[in-house]
Amino acid sequence: MAPAIEDIGHTISHVSVQALGNLNALIELVETILPRQDTAINLPSIKNAIPHLHQLVEISSKLSEYVRQMSEGYPVMKPPSALDRSFGNICVQPNGLSKASEQPSLWSGFYTKTVRERMDVLHLVYPKLSHLINTKETLIVKSKESVRNIGYLSIRTADLMIENCVGVLGLPLGLGLNFIIDGQSFTVPMAIEEPSVVAAASSAAKIIGSAGGGFFTSTSGNIMTAQIQLIDTRDIPRAIEKIGENRQRLLHLANEKSCPSMYKRGGGAIDIYCRVVTQADCASRSNWYNPANDELEIRASSSNVKFLVVHVDIDVCEAMGANVVNSVAEGLSDEVCAITESSCGLRILTNFCTQRRARAAFEIPTAELGWKGVSGADVANRIVEAYNFAAVDPFRAVTNNKGIMNGIDAVALATGQDWRAIEAGAHCYACRSGQYKSLSKYEIITRSDGIDVLQGSLELPMAVGSKGGALQTHPGYAVTRAILGDPSARTLSGIITAVGLAQNFAAVRAIAVTGIQHGHMALHARNFAVVAGAPSQLVTEVCAYMLGRKSINLDTAKDYLQAHALFSSFWNSPPQSPVKVTPPSMFYVEVPVPGLDRHISLNIAFESLGTHPQYIAIKPTSEKIQSECLTLQHQLLGDKGYRQLESMFSFVASMRSVLTPKQPLDTQVTRVNLEFQNTLQLVSILINILSYRLVEVAPHTVPAFIAKLLHSSASEVGTITFRAMVQDISLSNQVLCVGLPLLFALWQVLHYRVEQEVVSAFLRNEILQEQRLILRALVASFCTINQDEADSTNSDTPDKAFEQFMRVHSKRWQATMLLLIDSLTLAPELRPQDALPYLHDIGELVEWKGTVAHDIARYKRAIQEHEPNAFIFWLKKRTINPAMGDGYIDKFQAFLNPLFTERVDHLQQQISGTHMIDLAAVKCLLVRIQNVYKEI
C-alpha cells in the first residue's frame, strides 16, 4: 500500500506547490497594480487581502510538509492529545457554553417531559424539520403534526425498499444529549429498543463534557477495499509481479470504466496490491478457547487451499461505498485474471475497512470522577482494572464490545447507516492481534501540568456515508441527519464512535462501582409494565410499585394492575432539522412541596420572538440572577416569586386533606402520584398568574389571544403553532413577545400531561374544561371593571349583581381546579363522577372565601392598579367611594356571613352520606384562609 500513498502524497504536494506558485504570482500582481490610481479597483480591500494571502501561502507550505510526512507510510490519524493542542480553547469552551452559568440546559429534565413536550422542544430547536419531513413524505400532513412523525415510513415507500414487504416495524427513537465533540455541541439521534442505553450515553457525555472538555475525534480517510479472488493461478509470485507492473494502467482502467463519477469528485481507485491467503495461516487454534466436541468447525475443504487475492483501494468520498467498490471489483476482474493467468472467483468488497478507521478519545481528571461515594482515584483505578480484564479475556471482551456497539448501532440505525457492516468490521478489528480483545482502552496518565487523568479511547473501522443508498429513500434519515447538522461522512464517523465510547464508559463505570443490574432493571421495569398491559398514564406508577417491592417482573406488574382493574394501549411519534435561528427561550421553576423529599421542577422551552432568547428562573438562587431578568420576571409574574410559590404550595398541601384516602397506600406509589399532581397544579397556577398579568399589560390584545386558545379543541392543541395563533395580533412590547409564547407553551404542557397521565377520560375532560372556565372568567372579570358598574340601566339588584360578579371573579382562586387534580388520589373503587358534585361545591366555597379575604386585604392596591376586586365592586354597587373602604369592611363581612353559612350548611347536608369528603378539613381550610390574610 505504501507506493500508492506515496503517489497520493506526491500528487497533493504537487498541487500544494502549484497553488503556492499561483498565490505568489497573485500577490506580485496585486502589489504591481496598487500604485495605479484606477478607480475601478477597490484598493483598500486588496491591501487588506494581502496579509491573508501570505498566511494562506504559509498554510499551504505546512500542508505540503505534512503530506510529505504522511506519504512515508500508511494514512495516519492525529492522536487526541494532538487534536487537543491544535484546537485549544475551542474544545474547552464549546459554542459559548459557560461553566459559570446558572441556567439549566435546554435539555435539562428532558426525560421527565411527556413525549409531546419533547417533540415541541425539537420543533423549537429545529424549526425546519416540519418542512423537511413534508418534502420527503407527502403522506404526512400539518406542519406541526409532522414533527410528531420523525422516522415515519409509509407502507408504499417501504414496499419500494425491500422485497415481499408486509408492514413497517418501528423502533423507539431517542436523543443522546450533552455531547461535545471536537468543540461542537451535538444532539444525537439514537434508535434502539433496549432501555438505559440512551440515558447512559447522555449521562456519560455530560460528565465528559463538563469535566474533560468533551470528545476528540480523528479519522484515517474514506478508503474502502475491493477483493478479487483468483483461482488456479499458475505462478503466484509472477502474478504478483505482473499486478505491480500494470498497477497504474489498472487504476486508470478502474477510474475510467467503473467509477468515473467518483473519480471526478476527487475519489476513485488509488491503489492495487496482492495478498496470499492459505488454510495453513489460520489452522492453529488460539490457546484461550476450549472447543466443544459437537460444534460446527470452520475449515477450508483442503489443507492445501491457497488463493491469490487482489485488493483495490478506493476513495469513496461521502458514500458508504459498497456499490461503487463492487462495481470496481467486477469491472477489473477480467483484466486482472488475464494478466495473472488465473480464473476468477469472488468479486466483492470487504467490510474490514482498516483504512477507514475512526477514533474518539477523552480525558477526565481523576479528581472529577468521584461517584456513588467512591473517590475519583478509586473509580479510575476500577475502570482501568475492568479494561485490563477485557484486554486479556475474550469472554469479557465480547460483552464489553457489545456495550460499545449498543451506542454505535443505535446512531447508525437512526442515521441510515449499514450497522451490520459496522458490526462485522468492528469485531474483526477486535481480533487483529490474533485474539479477540476490547475495542476500547483506558489508562491513567499524568499530564504535563501534573494532573492525573483517566484517558479513554476507542478505535474501529467505520464505513458510513452521507450520500446515497437508503438515505435518499427513507424520509426519517433526512430528519435525523439534519438534527446532527448534516455532517460529512468523516464527521459522522467521529460522532458515532464518540457515542460508542460514551456508552462504554458509562457501562464500565457502573459495573466497576455499583454493578449494572440495579439501574438497568429500574429502566427495564417500564418494559414489564407495558407488557403487563399498563396504559401509558400508569407506567410510572407501576414501575414505582415494582421498585418499591424490589420485585421487577411481569407477575408483580400484573398484580398491581389487577388490583386496580385497569387496562389500555398507547402510540407515539417524531422530530426534525436544524437551521440558524434564535434559540428557544427558557422558563425554569423549582418549588419545594410538602410530602416530597425533593423539589418539583418545570423546564419549559418556548419560542423566541426577538434576536436573543430570554431566560426566566424561579428557584432558590433566583436572587443572584441579573436585575434585567428579574425585571422581566416581575412584569410577567408580578410578586409571585420562589417564596410566594413555596407558601402557595404549603396551602395547596393543606387542601389535599379534604380528600384524605380512607385506606393505607403504598408510600412509593403515593410519592409518584404526588409529584405528578403538584406539577400539574403548578402548571395551572402559572397559567393563571401569567394570564392575569398579561391581561393587565394589554387588556385588548391578550383577551383576543386567549379567545383563540379557548377556541381550539383539546385535540388540536398539539397541531397548532404559536405563529398561527398571533398572525393577526400585534405584539407591541417585550412583555407580550415573551409572555404570549410562554403562555402558549404552558397551555400545551398542561394538555400533554393531562392527556398522557390522567387515566380517567371523565376526569381528563373535567380538568381541561375547568382550566378553560378559569381563563374565560379571568377575561370576563376585567371586562366587568371596564364597564360602568354603577350603570343605572342595569336592572339587577346590588346583591344579585355581586353574586354574578363573584361567580366569575372568584374562579381566579382556582380551588375547584386544584381539588379536581387532587381527586387523582381517590381510591380505585371510587368513581370521579361520584365525587364531582362535592368537589364543585367545596371548590366554589373555598374560591369565594379566598377571593373575599384576598380582596379585602388588597383593595387599596386594586384601586391604584385598576384590578378586579370584590370589595370595590360591592362598594360601587352601593355608590360608596372605594377610598372610604376601611369604614365599610365590617358591613361587607356582615353581608357575606349569611352567604357562607348557607353554603356550609348545604355542603354538610350533601356530604353527610359519603366517606369521600372530610368536612372538618373543609372548615379548617376556611379558617386558615381567613388567618392568612389577617396577617397581611
Q: What pLDDT, in 10s, does the model give residues 682-714?
A: 999 999 999 999 998 888 899 999 999 998 887
The reply to whether 511 falls in a domain is yes
The reply to whether 536 falls in a domain is yes
pTM > 0.75: yes or no: no
Among 164-178, 315-329, 367-381, the minimum mean pLDDT is found in: 164-178
- Of 56, 74, 92, which one is at a domain's C-terminal end? 74
Q: Which residues contact 617 (CB under 8 A, 6 or more apart)?
A: 102, 103, 104, 586, 587, 588, 589, 590, 625, 629, 633
pLDDT at res. 676: 86
pLDDT at res. 726: 86
C-alpha pair distances (Å), 536 with each of 113, 574, 869: 13, 17, 43
Rounded average pLDDT over 519-525: 64
Q: What is the CA radius of gyration of the chain?
A: 35
Task: Region of 678 please: left (phi>0), alpha (psi -120 to 50) or beta.
Answer: alpha
pLDDT at res. 887: 93
The reply to whether 649 falls in a domain is yes
Better pLDDT: 560 or 512: 512
The reply to whether 774 falls in a domain is no
Comparing CA positions, the residue from 354, 463, 260, 359 lying closest to residue 1 is 354
- Is residue 59 located within the same domain as residue 127? no
- pLDDT band of residue 571 (cuts 50, 70, 90) is very low
pLDDT tops 50 at residue 634: yes
- Is residue 817 located within the same domain as residue 936? yes
Rounded average pLDDT over 512-520: 70
C-alpha pair distances (Å), 806 with each of 784, 852, 889: 11, 9, 17
Active site residues per annotation? 194, 402, 418, 520
Rounded average pLDDT over 904-921: 79
How far apart are alpha carbons 283 and 837 in whole angstroms?
84
The reply to whether 253 falls in a domain is yes
The reply to whether 572 falls in a domain is no
- pLDDT band of residue 7 (cuts 50, 70, 90) is very low
- Is residue 605 located within the same domain as residue 744? yes
The residue assigned the cell 474501529 is: 460
C-alpha pair distances (Å), 511 with each of 384, 387, 388, 427, 839: 12, 11, 14, 22, 51
- Is residue 785 located within the same domain as residue 859? yes
- pLDDT band of residue 924 (cuts 50, 70, 90) is confident
Better pLDDT: 886 or 640: 886
Rounded average pLDDT over 803-819: 91
Map residue 141 onto helix, strand or coil.
coil
Q: With contact defined as beta carbons under 8 Å apart, do 115 and 537 qualify?
A: no
> Number of folded domains in the chain?
6
pLDDT tops 50 at residue 730: yes
If you average pLDDT over every residue of the chain, what do you get?
80
Comparing CA positions, the residue from 530, 483, 5 lying closest to residue 221 is 5
- pLDDT band of residue 748 (cuts 50, 70, 90) is very high
The reply to whether 888 falls in a domain is yes
Helix ranges (DSSP H) in 34-165:
43-70, 80-87, 89-92, 115-125, 129-136, 143-146, 155-161
pLDDT tops 80 at residue 555: no
Q: Which residues contact 640 (CB under 8 A, 6 or more apart)?
A: 648, 689
Q: With contact defined as beta carbons under 8 Å apart, do 535 and 759 qualify?
A: yes
Better pLDDT: 621 or 501: 501
- Is residue 478 located within the same domain as residue 587? no
pLDDT at res. 16: 47
Q: Which three cell numbers stand for residue 203?
A: 449521562
DSSP β-ladder status, 173-181 and 357-365: unpaired
Better pLDDT: 761 or 784: 761
Among 216-225, 323-332, 716-725, the minimum mean pLDDT is found in: 716-725
C-alpha pair distances (Å), 763 with each of 252, 563, 684, 821, 822: 75, 20, 15, 9, 11
Among 341-355, 493-507, 897-911, the minimum mean pLDDT is found in: 897-911
Q: Which three cell numbers stand for residue 431?
A: 481480533
pLDDT tops 90 at residue 18: no
- Is residue 470 located within the same domain as residue 551? no
Q: With contact defined as beta carbons under 8 Å apart, do 259 and 266 qualify?
A: no
- Is residue 895 located within the same domain as residue 912? yes
Measured in degrees and rounded to the nearest 5, phi and psi for residue 190 equal -140, 125
Residue type, 515: G
pLDDT tops 60 at residue 583: yes
- pLDDT band of residue 541 (cuts 50, 70, 90) is confident
How far apart are alpha carbons 316 and 603 in whole angstroms?
44
pLDDT tops 90 at residue 386: yes
pLDDT at res. 99: 41
C-alpha pair distances (Å), 904 with each of 11, 433, 844, 848: 94, 85, 11, 12
Tell me the percentage of the chain whose pLDDT exceeds 70.
76
- The tens digit of pLDDT for each residue in 175-189 reads 999 999 999 999 999
- Is residue 267 located within the same domain as residue 329? yes
pLDDT tops 50 at residue 8: no
pLDDT at res. 30: 52
pLDDT tops 70 at residue 501: yes
Residue type, 745: A
pLDDT tops 90 at residue 219: yes
The reply to whether 82 falls in a domain is no
pLDDT tops 90 at residue 271: yes
CA atoms within 13 Å, Cβ hemisphere of 210? 14
Measured in degrees and rounded to the nearest 5, phi and psi for residue 306 equal -150, 125
pLDDT tops 70 at residue 447: yes
Q: Residue length, the chain?
A: 936
- Is residue 491 located within the same domain as residue 416? yes
- Is residue 920 located within the same domain as residue 788? yes
pLDDT tops 90 at residue 549: no
- pLDDT band of residue 757 (cuts 50, 70, 90) is confident
Domain range for 203 is 105-220+356-515
Residue type, 866: H
Tell me the percentage of the chain whose pLDDT exceeds 90.
41
- Is residue 871 located within the same domain as residue 832? yes
Better pLDDT: 422 or 299: 422
- Is residue 342 located within the same domain as residue 471? no
pLDDT tops 50 at residue 672: yes
